[in-house]
Structure 1
């Protein structure tokens, strides 16, 4: 019915439970599941291999995109689901995504994400609440931990270059009417638990966006402060939530600027753009 590729780096703590949740209620052979542990220093490969119906292809090569390509080469069928190892997805959601890919003109699909805020600090919880509402209208295939490609969609995306934001690469490959957000499908995403972890993630997101821009795959402009004001006016977020978001946003931009200057990202991205494979 569908192939599912799951790149995994040091995910032994969650991979087993997430795979069992994914396969619960499925028929034998219904899902072709391939886990690609890459450069792991824990028992990710062993934990995945313990789950019946899962193929494990282990590699010493680090990086998510090389793992995606390796798993993709082993797939048996289309559509193909590309799933982050730490994201929860049920068989029912997979079936809904596959059904969406059968609609005329749809080349890629993604679920609606749900944030698991258990254990998240109070300040960063407010930040996540605001950020999620701000980006929801334009998120589509990026930032949900899952995307699905039809055979025609796959031909556009692969071979995928070595980019940080694989989901951003996929998202910008398709026009809005070619990608579907499937309301009947849900992915459970665990965001950063602390402000420091959130800032680290945002630095990576900003670097990934710059990399895509260097490859002529820039995202459309994100939501501005006007959208935040609108959320407050409509009482979708509180003024305290908005203040928390703005305070962390200032830190986010300052940290990103400092790290970018120290790392010399500009020259690195230019090199990547020059050596990226042609579409």
Structure 2
């Protein structure tokens, strides 16, 4: 089964692709969600939108540059480099670009950077949840051959879900027909849904500024490490998959910093309790007067 990645008819003056629409929808919903979380952190709508104004375009540019740099042989003209509607955005490039852009804006506005990225982390996850479906419409980011008979099957096996394209990613060619492969876009989307639920319910209980962003990095990195191992189109550096190396680094750094942050938060809470107790307990003079 083929799905046309182009939304607009041939008579339309320019192409509009599902890939771009899905990513744009993810960004919009992510920003709306982040605005709600900003209120909990006493960050104004105006301030948060300033971050969006700079971080989103820089993030898209960096996501594209990251992908192109690891696939230079695929591009033969400047026009192809800018044709992002054909696919080819690397989430790590976008996150790195957005991270440093928000850091610069936070320094300029003299705001708490860690509190800001806590608000944006779940919004980014929403963007990823929906953005992966752009890969679905472009029939890209697929995984290795799947031998699982249910539900990831193809026409070469018993077609229990022959027409259910959403629950299986397929490659079509003239030699083998349609074969079943792991729908890694779906795996990652569902993994991020679980992560978003975790962050959503934990947000108000965070122990220190930056913890939500670290939970996001650890959660996403852990899932991406294993999902990336199933993909056949990974960006590589020598014999290593770049995304797997970055995912592992995110997990190690994220968990380590969460442990350190919670220990510091616990120590500060203990010091505060001791300080308050000095004023709540009656002094020796008060005891004698009694």
Instruction: State whether TM-score is above 0.5.
Output: no
Larger radius of gyration: 2
TM normalised by structure 1 equals 0.29
TM normalised by structure 2 equals 0.29
- Where relative contact order (Cα < 8 A, 6+ residues apart) is larger, the structure is 1
> Would you tell me which structure has more strand in proportion to its own residues?
1
